[in-house]
């Protein structure tokens, strides 16, 4: 995110489960990082362009996630390349595709 011009404050926690629960991110959609920007949680290796779009469009949603650690997602480029989808987590807990990416 910093590479895309964002200012980030990093807080290292041993257990992200309470943060994820507070923002309605189910375990099946979890990843290794949880961030908060505005009213949204950002879970995992979500591209900055998706975060910018999320804030611009301001959908009725809880969070945006890139479940797991998809190869080719930001920060995971060394793991190879694979297509992946970012998912919007809606207020009722359901999801819908938000961004489609080919990896790195």
Model confidence, pTM: 0.82
Cα–Cα dist 97/46, whole Å: 13
Residues of the domain holding 13? 2-101
- Which of the two residues, 98 and 1, has the higher pLDDT score? 98
Statement: residue 104 has pLDDT above 60: no
Cα–Cα dist 49/22, whole Å: 24
- Average pLDDT for residues 78-91, to the nearest whole number? 85
Tell me: the pLDDT tens digits for 19-73? 899 888 998 898 888 989 999 999 988 999 999 999 999 999 999 999 877 666 7
Total domain count, the chain: 1
Q: What is the DSSP string of 40-63?
A: EEEEES--HHHHHHHHHH--SEEE
């Amino acid at each position: 995110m910093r590479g895309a011009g964002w200012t980030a404050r990093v807080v290292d926690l041993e257990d992200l489960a309470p943060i994820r629960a507070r923002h309605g991110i189910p375990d099946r959609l979890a990843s290794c990082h949880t961030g908060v920007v505005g009213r949204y949680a950002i879970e995992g290796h979500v591209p900055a362009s998706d975060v910018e779009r999320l804030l611009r469009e301001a959908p009725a949603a809880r969070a945006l996630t890139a479940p797991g650690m998809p190869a080719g997602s930001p920060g995971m480029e060394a793991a190879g390349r694979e297509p992946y989808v970012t998912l919007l987590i809606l207020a009722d807990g359901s999801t819908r595709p938000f961004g489609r990416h080919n990896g790195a």
